[in-house]
Amino acid sequence: GNAFTDAELEAFHKRIMEVGSADVAYSAEPKFDGLAVSLRYENGILTRGATRGDGTEGEDVTENIRTIKAIPLRLRGSFPSLIEARGEVLMFRADFQKLNDRQRGLGEKEFVNPRNAAAGSLRQLDSRVTARRPLRFFAYGIAEIGDSEAPGTHAVMLNWLENMGLPVS
């Protein structure tokens, strides 16, 4: 669930306790407002990057994904033969401001907000344009996994993704 205030978090906890388990552990992370993507790695090599699309079929943005410095082209350490990691491509507000300053200086159209700037940057037809944009990526989940067992908790999964070289919040 999402919580924006202490009161909402306390209400969430109360609902969980009403279900009947006193032994509860939480994992919390920021909610990023960007573009959801899936990264598919086969034998540790990035083979595809796609947007969420309609939930069944997304847009292939592999060439543009490859230009985002935070996204490893090759996983490190121990990894399954196949893994599809889910995450968010976004732009920090300070980077967004600098991008709009640059756009303004060049007499080009400014972006409305960081989410639209990130989404538009990732959907560029020319990956060289994407490469010049200050995009970031944070993994938050696994959609598919090959020959390994999925981690038992969200926190363990985030550590596992990070150990493979994927940035997490």
User: Active-site residue numbers?
Assistant: 31
What's the rounded Cα separation, in Å, for the pair 95 and 107?
18
What totals of helices (H) and strands (E) does the chain contain, helices first?
6, 4
Residues facing 46 on adjacent strands = 41
| Tokens standing for residue 80 | 């399954």
Alpha-carbon distance values, 117 to 2, 66, 140, 156 (Å): 24, 18, 21, 32
Closest CA to 50 of 59, 68, 41, 40: 59
| Tokens standing for residue 102 | 């640059």
